[in-house]
Chains A and B, each alone.
Chain A
Amino acid sequence: EPEVTQTPSHQVTQMGQEVILRCVPISNHLYFYWYRQILGQKVEFLVSFYNNEISEKSEIFDDQFSVERPDGSNFTLKIRSTKLEDSAMYFCASSEALGADTQYFGPGTRLTVL
């Protein structure tokens, strides 16, 4: 069964460093998302992406964040200058074209900012 994959599974970084979280969505999916979950809290929407542009972003998704689909398979989330409060689990998700509703999540990347 096709699945969303994410790398790395765990990333440790120093405050102020740039990180890139990588995702490979399900191959025939056209809509891509990033969510984050701070430890013990609810899952929060960050950004959605379709047709090589951002469809919607939350207030969390400030200028420190960016997303890119550098090729036909990868979808990345970049945090330019990490802060302690960026420590969280980051989930990538994807869904099919319009009319299909389910967003399938990847296993997540746990980001720890020291």
Chain B
Amino acid sequence: AQKITQTQPGMFVQEKEAVTLDCTYDTSDPSYGLFWYKQPSSGEMIFLIYQGSYDQQNATEGRYSLNFQKARKSANLVISASQLGDSAMYFCAMREGQSGYNKLIFGAGTRLAVHP
């Protein structure tokens, strides 16, 4: 079974609009972390936002917020006020367990295109 599922291969959004990128996960470990990374066409992986499984509040980082629904095992990324520079591939990833050295498991990614 897939540990991380991103069901949207591609998404379009108008500049200045908000967009939600979906991510569902599967784990039996009570302690885990969820991450979103952005990969522009240049190829680097840019960390955006992190949510811990025990965090009481949804994570926010500037225009990025994470809609964490633990019971549904979903961790959707919300980008508010989209900008042209947001056009990129977005990956959801999970770290199982509490140890800092646990590997990240990535989803297949969602390609976001922001239109003017």
Tell me whether A12 is interfacial, beta carbon within 8 Å: no
Residues of chain B contacted by A58 (CB below 8 angstroms): 103
A window 2-53: CB within 8 A of B: 30-31, 33, 35, 41-45, 48, 50
B107 to chain A, nearest CB (A): 7
A76 to chain B, nearest CB (A): 18
- B43:A56 contact, CB within 8 angstroms: no
- A55:B101 contact, CB within 8 angstroms: yes
- B95:A42 contact, CB within 8 angstroms: no
- Cα–Cα, bound, A109→B70 (Å): 36
The one of A50, A97, A98, A108 that contacts B43, using a Cβ cutoff of 8 Å: A108
B79 to chain A, nearest CB (A): 19
Q: How large is the interface on A (under 10, 10 to 19, 20 to 34, 35 or more residues)?
A: 20 to 34
- Cα–Cα, bound, A58→B95 (Å): 15
- A50:B101 contact, CB within 8 angstroms: yes
- Which of B13-21, B44-52, B80-88 binds A? B44-52
- B50:A42 contact, CB within 8 angstroms: no
B103 to chain A, nearest CB (A): 4
Tell me whether B78 is interfacial, beta carbon within 8 Å: no
A7 to chain B, nearest CB (A): 14
Residues on B lying within 8 angstroms of A by beta carbon are 33, 35, 37, 42-47, 50, 52, 91, 93, 95, 98-109
17 residue pairs A–B, Cβ–Cβ below 8 Å: A33-B104, A35-B104, A42-B106, A43-B93, A50-B101, A55-B101, A56-B101, A89-B43, A91-B45, A95-B100, A98-B99, A98-B100, A100-B100, A103-B35, A103-B47, A108-B44, A110-B43
Given contact pairs A42-B109, A98-B100, A108-B43, a sample of 18 additional A-B residue pairs in the complex whose CB atoms are under 8 Å apart: A42-B108, A45-B103, A45-B104, A45-B105, A48-B102, A50-B101, A56-B101, A56-B103, A91-B45, A95-B100, A95-B101, A101-B100, A103-B35, A103-B95, A104-B47, A105-B37, A107-B44, A108-B45
